[in-house]
A and B are shown apart, each in its own frame.
Chain A
Amino acid sequence: MKNKKSTTTFEVIMWIPRILFLVVLMFAIMLLIRSFVNTTIDSSELQANVFANRVLYSTNAISYVDPDTQRVYPGIVDLDKLKSAISDKSLEKSISYGKKNLEIGAKFSVNDMKENKIDFFYNEDFFREQEKIAGSGFTEGPGGAKLYVKNYNIIVQKGSVLTNGVLTMSIVIPNS
């Protein structure tokens, strides 16, 4: 009788590792299923392209706007407008991501082929911070950032004088 009782107790105790193993197995299957479900979409390059196009095409950015017709000339950068955009930070106002912008930063270089180069920033502190992260090769995963550099052939307007030039945009977008 004592022998039978001990056998039953042993069997009940043996259930504990079996149930623990079962729980571990269930979590493993759940993780396996979850690993095949993708919910992240990397749209950072598209975001950079949209931002660049917005700077070029928007009425309230850096492109020349005809005062009579209000037509925007996307390939013509108005130097007077650019200088006022730099001084009063109007670009931050026309593309506003809220009080603290942790979404995007950019550096613009306008070179008019006569060695006149104007550099200006959009969200400067954030750009400098994220540029270092992207430059160090930390481009994947949370905490990383991606840098996109785009060159556009433009016409630089200084008063009534038009000259050829190149606009270089460096845009950084954090991963999360």
Chain B
Amino acid sequence: MKKRAVCCRLFSFRKSQANEVYHVLIQAAIALAVYLTMQAYIDSVSKDTLFEKVYLSKDSGLLMDTVYGSPGELTYEYKNDLVGLNRFKFSFKNQRASIDEAESKSKLTAEQPYGEDMNAPYSGNDISNSDKIVFSKTKTGLSTGKG
């Protein structure tokens, strides 16, 4: 009988005590929400590929310039072990090298302009899911393709 009384008293707060418990619960909920928000933000920063996209766009855009600047016909195989090329989609249109993620189209696309030689115009399709890109320059044009 005595035991039962203790058990019931454990969950039978007075109104002032109940308010204090609610306050503690609200504080715990806010702390949890803040933790989850910050964790989600840090996860998004760590998974962000913007730097890789900027780096690849500059690398491939300047490579296009270099290939165009070559004093003859040229075939160059572009590989990059630092960044997984197959994770990205490469597009060379309107004198711009554009890089986007291959799987999910993100809001931010990195772009780098390059100078196209109108005497040897560029022709090629978008490249994705490939570990290397082949740049081929001839007298009549420049093309890109998967290796």
Task: Tell me if A20 counts as interface (CB < 8 A to partner B).
Answer: no
Residues A46 and B62 in contact in the complex (CB < 8 Å), given A26-B37, A39-B54:
yes
Q: Chain B's interface: helix, strand, loop or mixed, by majority? A: helix
In the complex, the number of residue pairs spanning A and B with C-beta atoms less than 8 Å apart equals 91
Q: Which residues of A contact B (CB under 8 A)?
A: 4, 8, 11, 15, 19, 22, 26, 29-30, 33-34, 37-41, 43, 46-47, 50-51, 53-54, 57-60, 63, 70-72, 74, 93-98, 103-104
Query: Considering only CB atoms, which chain A residue lies closest to B42 in the complex?
Result: A33
In which size bucket is the chain B interface?
35 or more
Contact yes or no, A39 B50, CB < 8 A: yes
Contact yes or no, A97 B45, CB < 8 A: no
Residues of chain B within 8 A (CB-CB) of A40 are 54
Query: Considering only CB atoms, which chain B residue lies closest to A29 in the complex?
Result: B38
Q: Which residues of B contact A (CB under 8 A)?
A: 15-16, 19, 23, 26, 30, 34, 37-38, 41-42, 45, 48, 50-51, 54-55, 58, 62, 65-66, 68-72, 94-95, 113-120
**Known A41-B54, A51-B115, A70-B72; 6 more pairs at CB < 8 Å:** A19-B30, A22-B30, A33-B41, A54-B65, A57-B70, A96-B95
Contact yes or no, B19 A37, CB < 8 A: no
Least CB distance from B140 to A in Å reads 12
Least CB distance from B29 to A in Å reads 12
Q: Give the CA-CA distance A48 to B24 in the complex, in Å.
A: 62
Residues of chain B within 8 A (CB-CB) of A59 are 71-72
Q: Give the CA-CA distance A104 to B115 in the complex, in Å.
A: 10
Residues of chain B within 8 A (CB-CB) of A98 are 94-95, 113
Residues of chain B within 8 A (CB-CB) of A38 are 51
Contact yes or no, A53 B72, CB < 8 A: no
A-B contact pairs, 15 of them (CB 8 A): A11-B19, A22-B34, A30-B41, A37-B48, A40-B54, A41-B58, A50-B66, A51-B65, A53-B66, A54-B65, A57-B71, A93-B118, A94-B117, A98-B95, A103-B113
